[in-house]
Structure 1
Amino acid sequence: MTAPTDAPVPVPPVARTVPELLAWRVAVHPQQVALRVHGVAELTFAEWWEAAGAVAGALRRRGVGPGDRVGLVFGARDWIGYAVAYCGVLRAGAVAVPLSDRSAPTQLGYALDHCRATAVVHGQTPAPTGLPSWPVTLLRGEDDTGPDHPVRPDDLAQILYTSGTTGRPKGVKASHANLTVGAPRHPRRLPLAHSQRFLHAFPIGTNAGQTMLFNALTARPTALTLPGFTPARFARLIAAEGTGTVFLVPSIAIELLDSGALDGRDLGGVHLVGSTAAALPPAVATRLAAAFPAATVVNYYTSTEAAPAQTTMIFDPARREAVGRPVGGDLRIADPQGQPLPTGEVGEVWLRSPHPRSYHRDASATRATFRDGWVRMGDVGRLDADGYLYLTDRHQDVIKSGAFKISSLEVEAALHEHPGIAEAAVVAVAHPVLGSVVAAVLVARPTTADTDLALPAARSCDTDLTLPAVRSCDTDLTLPAVRSFLAGRLADHQLPARLLLVRQLPRNEGGKVLKRQLAARFDD
């Protein structure tokens, strides 16, 4: 599909389906590269439309019908195949279920069984399931496309599974209207227009990954990703001409900054650095702002359940702990019954967006989380007089110690100020008198290439976790030394009572720390 250069600009309807959004981009930018996997392949909008049509036709001929759930199991090298398969499934009238090929077979099996998938489309690695399964290369190679199955904006488009950090993963349902709300309707209004490319390394099957897929559909620049993240490779792409936007998660930001891969590079072409998926510690935001002097550093706060509603926060030294004000929706702080609280009071965080999502096959969790378009975020926070949101903690991560309620986020932010700490996670551990006390799990910042450096057993690193050869532990990170450093930053009851040094923090695919695993380590 192409559009004559002198043709009037097509004006899409306000409520659109995902195939309609792709068709519009084909009409206005047919030969623009929409997506590129560095060193692997690239895809123009016209090629995206044609290949997705072939996949849709092939699925229909194999019996996939309207409303059928189709699992999409892809890895980082297969972003182009994933994008084609995703839009192909939707053009067939079916429902996409994005999954990562790095998931364990039991995790894949649970998601596919829970959503009642009828088939699977996969990338280079076949999916270990008992369902009909086809590689996307086979499907897109068939030429007989046929007409798209008609879908409406309110029809179900995808089921995206949560990370499961607090329990069994939940399938979050999103309609076409939810996914396309706020998408541009004029080619002069495309976002990220300051860039030729926007760069990310987010995995498929996560909410952050889905955001990048829809950025590829709606943004002015080409989406650029890479088949495998390394700091050196990512840093080279950041410094390459035309990279004006970089999207990170906090763990990637810390690894980039600590690796030295950015040192000596001209980063003046980067105008936007965005962080998402987890809270960005203020100390890390400060380092990002220094490393990218020409860039605006923005923290995005949302969830799989609340998207596309979010808050955005341009890094402001005067509001280092704030996570921003709402964009594309409403924000409120409420009591346990969901009633709004006055400015300044601490309560549960709720976000609202048009075309809300819901949980698949979990009515009780849907009632607890979704209410009249509002989504309970599972976080505790407050609003200031200017409407900025400050997070206190995840609801389940608040540490109750004696008469005090302690924010793990506040303690982690203070720990990140320590020059010898690369990463920090704070959890509650049991105490016979106080109920719980603060425990800190730390990753030391790289200080030497001498891997023979011996540590006293009481302060040794966690040898169950792998360590790159260039790292060794900072022997100054003792419990007394850390408590002394924090003494001027935190109250006595917030100071860690126990300390564990590890070589890396356990994280899920989206970069979130698995705190339940860390808390269990203190039982030993």
Structure 2
Amino acid sequence: MWGTLPRLMARVTADHGDRSAIIDGDRSLTYTELAAATNRVSTGLIEAGLRPGDRVGILMPNCLEYIPTLYGVWGAGGVVTQMPARASASDFRYFLNSAATTTLIHHHNFDTALTGIRTDSPTLSTVIRLGSPPAPDTEALDYTALFGAADPTPPPIRIGENDLAFIGFTSGTTGVPKGVLQTHATWLHYCVTAGLEIGDTRPGEIFAHGAPMTHFTQTFIMPTLMRGGTNLILPGLDVDTLLSAIDTHKVTATAVVPTIIYLLLARTDLTDYDLTSLRTVIYAGSPMAPSELEHALRVFGPVFAQAYAGTEPGYISTLRKQDHLLQTPTQRARLASAGRPMYHVDLSIRHDNGQVVAAGEAGEIWVRQAGQMIGYLDSSLDADTIHDGWVRTGDIGYLDEEGFLFIVDRKKDMIITGGFNVFPRQIEDILDTHPAVRQCAVIGIPDPKWGEAVKAYVVTDPENPVTGNDLIRLVREEKGSVWAPKSVEFVAGLPLNPSGKVDKKVLRQRHWDGQTRQVH
């Protein structure tokens, strides 16, 4: 029995009282104050007409109000509709309409993006706005007025662990995002295991949230609270802000995308900051080049932990801090892995027909665990992903002899060139070893001879000259001519989706638009 999210919030806030729960610039909340703020949101929503099971979109930048709003929605019996802050205006409308959202709570930063949102979202009946400038939506309720005067005691709402709690959305790099359903039990499991196995959360943790809290960093809110720690909220994830926060607040843990680690490694002034408090840096969202990871370990020490997860299957595996070792060639090679499956996860590598592959053979990763989705918003899609309780991830990988998981690529990213299956991830790993390559992405483009031709987009270090032929030769020497890119295009940057991953859909679009079919 996992209980419910409001019940857990009530217990942790009662246990830690006057300790600091949240810091946001010069504003802060103790645990006692967080409990009252959360309950005011719950009560205010009910007074505004929210009914159990209604869907509520929360669209905020990183700010103090996000945490009591998130848990306040759950305390009122509502279902949170995920609204990634970095998404576009059209995405916001899509998320709201797909989930039949009735209530939207938004920060004034998003006024322009939400212009006309009532007309575009027919199910939306209540809009609550946080911010002091005059509201362009004259019907919007004021966040402070509504929740500031509400009752700070828990409302008498009955919530069950199997009640719907969260609707997330897939990243949509290969198609339209799909709505994913989580209950109180599955989402609570998702968050708690993240803190225990990935973050190794300890008493008094000071966790810096620089990445958007509307995305994966929110899963580390509750583990930090459970240990009586402090959620330090940063306005964004840039290296200056992060370094200053670590130095000033003695941050012990944070979660970032690999790009931030690369930017930190490029700094020449790291010794100007006191970083000795930093104990855990979780990286996720995309693979990290092993050569850069080795560099990071030498600069920052054994503080890194990798998380491999998916919207549908939940957290799957972790390369723990104690697995980030450099002493032997085998240990260094495992830096390219996604670690071992987490303790609560059953993981299987299978052929397309569902049969388990031979040991060491690559196949699709199937996962079964208590923190996985219960299904899609569109239940007709369930059968393509869920089989006898197992979630098909769409990722191709293999397990080595000690159970470390190596991800070869996304199944849908596979390139079929001249009849051969080629996995872009393996080409990207080779390109990443070149000192001139800062970032790269490999896709298949239409080709009259090969069906698809391998193309690489590369961001380079301006102080390290390299030619396309140099990089083609590098791949050819490592993997052979079939895998070598037929072309290399140098770019200033790669497009990212709201999750911070390289958006290959955008890269493919210019090549595949107008084609009668996608090869794969």
SS, match of residue 511 in structure 1:
coil
Partner of 2:39: 53
Correspondence 1:8-47 to 2 at 5 A: 14-37=1-24, 39=25, 41-47=27-33
Partner of 1:367: 383
Partner of 1:67: 53
Q: Report the Cα distance in structure 2 between the residues aligned to 1:522 and 1:169, rounded to whole angstroms.
A: 21
Partner of 2:349: 333
1:297 aligns with 2:291: no
1:485 Cα offset (Å): 3.8
SS, match of residue 470 in structure 2:
helix
Q: Report the Cα distance in structure 2 between the residues aligned to 1:29 and 1:42, rounded to whole angstroms.
A: 15
Q: Give yes or no for contact 1:194–1:244 (8 Å, CA) kept in 2.
A: no
Partner of 1:412: 428
1:504 aligns with 2:493: yes
Match of 2:337 among 301, 310, 322: 322
User: What do residues 373-412 of structure 1 show as CA deviations (whole Å, max 9, x unaligned)?
Assistant: 3211110111122211111100111122224222211111
User: What do residues 429-481 of structure 1 show as CA deviations (whole Å, max 9, x unaligned)?
Assistant: 2222222222111111253xxxxxxxxxxxxxxxxxxxxxxxxxx5x232112
CA pair 195-92 structure 1, distance change in 2 beyond 3 A: closer
Q: Report the Cα distance in structure 1 between the residues aligned to 2:276 and 2:30, rounded to whole angstroms.
A: 28
1:83 aligns with 2:67: yes
CA pair 324-483 structure 1, distance change in 2 beyond 3 A: same
Q: Between the two proteins, what is the percent identity of the paired residues? A: 30
Q: Report the Cα distance in structure 2 between the residues aligned to 1:25 and 1:249, rounded to whole angstroms.
A: 29
User: What do residues 494-523 of structure 1 show as CA deviations (whole Å, max 9, x unaligned)?
Assistant: 222111111111001211101121133457
User: What do residues 262-289 of structure 1 show as CA deviations (whole Å, max 9, x unaligned)?
Assistant: 3654534322221112222212222221
Partner of 1:490: 479
1:203 aligns with 2:216: no
Q: Report the Cα distance in structure 2 between the residues aligned to 1:238 and 1:416, rounded to whole angstroms.
A: 29
Q: Give yes or no for contact 2:37–2:152 (8 Å, CA) kept in 1.
A: no
After TM superposition, the runs of 4+ consecutive aligned structure 1 residues lying more than 6 A away are 182-185
SS, match of residue 429 in structure 1:
strand
1:393 aligns with 2:380: no
SS, match of residue 500 in structure 1:
strand
User: What do residues 33-59 of structure 1 show as CA deviations (whole Å, max 9, x unaligned)?
Assistant: 22323x253232222211111111111
1:123 aligns with 2:107: yes
CA pair 64-241 structure 1, distance change in 2 beyond 3 A: closer
CA pair 405-182 structure 1, distance change in 2 beyond 3 A: closer
Q: Report the Cα distance in structure 2 between the residues aligned to 1:284 and 1:400, rounded to whole angstroms.
A: 29
Q: Give yes or no for contact 2:207–2:254 (8 Å, CA) kept in 1.
A: yes
AA aligned to 2:89 is P
1:133 aligns with 2:123: no
Q: Give yes or no for contact 2:180–2:377 (8 Å, CA) kept in 1.
A: no
Q: Report the Cα distance in structure 1 between the residues aligned to 2:474 and 2:247, rounded to whole angstroms.
A: 36
Q: Give yes or no for contact 1:35–1:216 (8 Å, CA) kept in 2.
A: no
Q: Report the Cα distance in structure 1 between the residues aligned to 2:156 and 2:498, rounded to whole angstroms.
A: 33
Partner of 2:466: 477
Partner of 1:436: 452
SS, match of residue 406 in structure 2:
strand
Q: Report the Cα distance in structure 2 between the residues aligned to 1:429 and 1:359, rounded to whole angstroms.
A: 33
Partner of 1:281: 289
SS, match of residue 489 in structure 1:
helix
1:323 Cα offset (Å): 0.9
User: What do residues 67-114 of structure 1 show as CA deviations (whole Å, max 9, x unaligned)?
Assistant: 0011111113x2x21211111111111111131344322211111111
Q: Give yes or no for contact 1:100–1:205 (8 Å, CA) kept in 2.
A: yes
Match of 2:418 among 402, 405, 426: 402
SS, match of residue 438 in structure 2:
strand
**Structure 2 gap segments, 5+ residues each:** 119-123, 130-142, 325-330, 514-520
AA aligned to 1:16 is G
AA aligned to 2:101 is A
Q: Give yes or no for contact 1:67–1:93 (8 Å, CA) kept in 2.
A: yes
SS, match of residue 302 in structure 1:
strand
Q: Give yes or no for contact 1:192–1:220 (8 Å, CA) kept in 2.
A: no
Q: Give yes or no for contact 2:308–2:315 (8 Å, CA) kept in 1.
A: no
CA pair 119-162 structure 1, distance change in 2 beyond 3 A: same
SS, match of residue 179 in structure 1:
helix
Q: Give yes or no for contact 1:200–1:225 (8 Å, CA) kept in 2.
A: yes
SS, match of residue 284 in structure 1:
helix
CA pair 220-55 structure 1, distance change in 2 beyond 3 A: closer
1:169 Cα offset (Å): 1.2
AA aligned to 2:332 is P
Provide the aligned C-alpha RMSD in A.
Answer: 2.6
Partner of 1:352: 368
Partner of 2:245: 237
Q: Give yes or no for contact 1:22–1:45 (8 Å, CA) kept in 2.
A: no
Q: Report the Cα distance in structure 2 between the residues aligned to 1:408 and 1:275, rounded to whole angstroms.
A: 21
AA aligned to 1:367 is A
SS, match of residue 426 in structure 2:
helix
Q: Report the Cα distance in structure 2 between the residues aligned to 1:446 and 1:244, rounded to whole angstroms.
A: 34
SS, match of residue 100 in structure 1:
coil
Q: Give yes or no for contact 1:382–1:392 (8 Å, CA) kept in 2.
A: yes
Match of 1:93 among 64, 77, 86: 77
1:347 Cα offset (Å): 0.8
Match of 2:359 among 338, 343, 358: 343
Q: Give yes or no for contact 2:359–2:399 (8 Å, CA) kept in 1.
A: yes
- Between 97-106 and 20-29, report the one with greater CA deviation: 97-106
Match of 2:231 among 215, 223, 227: 223
- How many residues are paired up? 478
CA pair 227-71 structure 1, distance change in 2 beyond 3 A: same
Q: Give yes or no for contact 1:93–1:148 (8 Å, CA) kept in 2.
A: no
Relative to its length, the structure with more helix (as a share) is 2
CA pair 181-230 structure 1, distance change in 2 beyond 3 A: closer
SS, match of residue 482 in structure 2:
helix
AA aligned to 1:350 is W
**Structure 1 gap segments, 5+ residues each:** 1-13, 448-473
AA aligned to 1:301 is Y
Match of 1:306 among 305, 313, 324: 313
Q: Report the Cα distance in structure 1 between the residues aligned to 2:297 and 2:418, rounded to whole angstroms.
A: 38
